């Protein structure tokens, strides 16, 4: 496991699921960790306490991704509290599905605001605080390249847009030695997408590995991309999807 001792990470949507696994992984590698949350303050504070109990500095900040001022304020507050940032993981996102002919425009707008706009806001807010050789990791989706089913248009569009943002920012920040990459999870067993939900077996059957992934599968890849070992990896799309895209 690559050492991140002395580094500070900021993980959006870090109170549960993939985000919490990422926070734990980065802390296990030695990083201090700040997380944001929207609807799970108790879980967020419990996770921060858990990380502090193993010797890491950790704080949880409330920030709704749909309110970009809240996102910027949380980044600024964390940078002030921790004395700077080294790693930004944009994990927070929402999933809204439905027929393209009937979806309200408000659902499209909120999806874009949270899944793309909040990432842009967090990156802009983090830039003054990111030290040389910093790392930005965005969490995308296997649906960015292939939806595989109907009703996923606006979610897929938001994650495809995030690919473009990732690649563009990688070019912008390359001269500072800051890498910017995107990880595309496939079906991962979380409380939002449990492996025992109705229809999950059919989804798993479409994968090369024919099973759901674990949150640690994503966290492990983020831990690598946040490390010195990934210093020559930037602008990359990394699929951790059980073969959905194969």
- Residues with active-site annotation: 155
- For 10, the enclosing helix (H) or strand (E) is strand 8-11
């Amino acid at each position: 496991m690559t050492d991140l001792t002395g580094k500070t990470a900021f993980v959006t949507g870090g109170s549960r699921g993939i985000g919490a696994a990422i926070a734990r992984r980065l802390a296990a590698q030695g990083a201090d960790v700040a997380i944001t949350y929207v609807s799970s303050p108790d879980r967020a504070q419990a996770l921060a306490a858990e990380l502090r109990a193993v010797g890491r500095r950790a704080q949880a900040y409330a920030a709704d991704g749909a309110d970009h001022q809240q996102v910027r304020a949380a980044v600024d507050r964390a940078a002030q509290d921790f004395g700077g940032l080294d790693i930004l993981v944009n994990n927070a996102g929402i999933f809204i599905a439905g027929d393209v002919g009937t979806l309200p425009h408000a659902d499209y707008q909120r999806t874009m605001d949270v899944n793309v706009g909040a990432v842009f806001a967090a990156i802009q807010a983090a830039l003054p605080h990111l030290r040389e050789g910093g790392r930005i990791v965005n969490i995308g989706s296997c649906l960015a390249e292939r939806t595989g089913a109907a009703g996923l248009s606006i979610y897929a569009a938001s994650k495809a847009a995030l690919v473009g943002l990732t690649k563009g920012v990688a070019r912008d920040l390359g001269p500072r030695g800051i890498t910017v990459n995107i990880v595309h999870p496939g079906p991962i067993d979380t409380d939002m997408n449990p492996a025992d939900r109705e229809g999950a077996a059919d989804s798993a059957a479409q994968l090369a590995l024919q099973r759901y992934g674990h949150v640690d599968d994503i966290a492990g890849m983020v831990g690598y991309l946040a490390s010195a070992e990934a210093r020559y990896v930037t602008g990359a799309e990394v699929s951790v999807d059980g073969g959905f895209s194969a």
